[in-house]
Amino acid sequence: MEHRPDLHLRDRARNGVQDTQMRQAIQKAVDRLSSNKAKAAQELGNWDAWREQGKRIRKHTIENLDYYLAQLAENVRKSGGFVHFVPTAAEARQVVLDICKKHNAKMVIKSKSMVSEEIHLNPALEHAGIEAVETDLAEYILQLAGEPPSHIIVPAIHKNRRQIAELFSKVAGHPVESDTPSLTAFARKILRKKFLTADVGITGCNFAVAQTGSVTLVTNEGNARLTTSLPKVLISIMGMERIVPTFEDLEVLLTLLPRSATGQKLTSYVSVINKTRNVDEKDGAKEFHLLILDNGRSRMLEDDEFRQALHCIRCGACFNVCPVYRQIGGHAYASVYGGPIGSVITPLLLNDLDFWGELAYASSLCAACSSSCPVKIPLHDLLLALRHRRAEAGYTPFLEKTAFNLWRRFFKLPAAYKFAMKMASIGQKPFVTNGFIKAGPPPLSNWTNSRYFPALPGETFRDRWREKQ
Ligand code: SF4
């Protein structure tokens, strides 16, 4: 499916629904992730108590964010690192470019970082003549394909092995087999050389620990370890909410995160970066920079209704259970943060209820997302609240507003309502087969193109009520 952030949600969703290969790949993957998660949660026991504890930690941290950010910055500086508070994406890009220029960097290696996607870092680096190489396997695949991630945990979830083999074959100049060992061996061979020659390493941050000034990275491929230990300069970029007060709190969130994300008890690698390299050490960065990004988060922090969206620990569990995500795929959201949580935070981060506020409608409000969230964010309530806010701001389409106004009038006038129902019941007759409208005229065809519409019954509730009387 083509990535088209310029289209409206309705058109992006239509494109997604028509991409059968993508839908099959996603459905297979999210089914596996969801069942792994259910098993891991059951094995741990007391899952709801763990979730409650996670919620408490996130709530406390976000309510005292100014205190913990100051503590984090102080401890990073004490360990010899540099801290940059960056208000916008543009300023974040500029800080990274300045550091790279200061060190005359020609190539940077990156471990997976959604926040670097949020600030559009790669195009800025390339524009400045600096090669940016993604080292997470899925991110590397997407970089070759020229596509953005479609899931926050499994960025290339929409691709199958055959498509990946085709991409790798183009780079190799000869056919690469599509079995997993061949694909990973090929990526490893290419990326090893990049690790050894890169000037700067760039990472995201799963959680920064305020108590010690540590940056924690949770990965399965070991690429974050190479990214943080081989280049002489290391830059970590974090959203300002990605912080925990202490290692005890980190333990709770690291119990919830991998289980919710992939069903693992622990990811293969949990790296904690505490300080720059000692003089007698052979590896590790000599210079460390931590970028703490705002980019709309302060606005969310001030908003009593939506502050809790900052509790998110980016586990992706809400994507995996969302019936809408399964059908339309991640690119239909057109935001780096898709799925239910992306539908909430994208309009808020971008401060745009008009175009991006449409994402609040990419939900059936079934509440599966809220039930799956390890820190108990009531996502479906937030999506509904966002719809209210958008409607109050006057962004409801004219046709929808008119339709609901007419509906309200019919409800107020029993005779008019009855008449309208009678007319609709007669008018639908040419389209009804076995109690369903299978191919309706526009605008009903928007519905019947993908599913049947139940026909109005010949006898209304009012008729039956009168008969019973
Ligand atoms: S909202 Fe909850 S379930 Fe969704 S990614 Fe964030 S923490 Fe995970």
* Cα 425 → chain centroid: 44
pLDDT at 415: 86
Question: Which of 47, 313, 383 to mutate to test ligand 1, by most ligand atoms within 8 A of the CB atom?
Answer: 313
Do residues 13 and 147 share a domain? yes
Q: How far is the CA of 269 from the centre of ligand 1 (A)?
A: 21
- Residue type for 61, please? T
Give a yes or no: residue 49 inside a domain. yes
Give a yes or no: residue 149 inside a domain. yes
Give a yes or no: residue 333 inside a domain. no
Do residues 169 and 290 share a domain? yes
Q: How far is the CA of 447 from the centre of ligand 1 (A)?
A: 30
Give a yes or no: residue 319 inside a domain. no
Do residues 66 and 185 share a domain? yes
Give a yes or no: residue 455 inside a domain. yes
For the ranges 211-225, 401-415, 444-458, the one whose mean pLDDT is highest: 211-225
Do residues 29 and 175 share a domain? yes
Q: How far is the CA of 122 from the centre of ligand 1 (A)?
A: 26
Whichever domain contains 13, its CATH number is: 3.40.50.10420
- pLDDT per residue as tens digits for the range 77-100: 999 999 999 999 999 999 999 999
Q: Among 298, 327, 344, which residue terminates a domain?
A: 298
Do residues 89 and 211 share a domain? yes
Give a yes or no: residue 351 inside a domain. no
Q: How far is the CA of 290 from the centre of ligand 1 (A)?
A: 24
Question: Which of 262, 373, 383, 386 to mutate to test ligand 1, by most ligand atoms within 8 A of the CB atom?
Answer: 373
Residues with CB under 6 A from ligand 1: 260, 312-318, 341, 372-375, 377, 379
Report the predicted TM-score, pTM, of the whole model to 2 decimal places. 0.90
pLDDT at 1: 58
Higher pLDDT pick, 400 / 47: 47
pLDDT at 178: 94
Nearest to 111 by CA among 195, 208, 197, 172: 195
Q: How far is the CA of 226 from the centre of ligand 1 (A)?
A: 28
Q: Among 276, 298, 320, which residue terminates a domain?
A: 298
- Residue type for 95, please? V
- pLDDT per residue as tens digits for the range 411-437: 888 888 888 888 888 889 889 998 999
Domain with 425, as residue range(s), is 399-468
126-146 exposure pattern, b = at least 16 Cβ within 10 A, e = fewer = eeeebbbbbbbbbbbbbbbee
Give a yes or no: residue 143 inside a domain. yes
Counting the structural domains of the chain, the total is: 2
Per-position DSSP letters for 23-82, written without gaps between them = HHHHHHHHHHHHHHHHHHHHHH--HHHHHHHHHHHHHHHHHTHHHHHHHHHHHHHHTT-E
Do residues 271 and 150 share a domain? yes
Q: Among 270, 298, 326, which residue terminates a domain?
A: 298
pLDDT at 400: 85
pLDDT at 184: 94
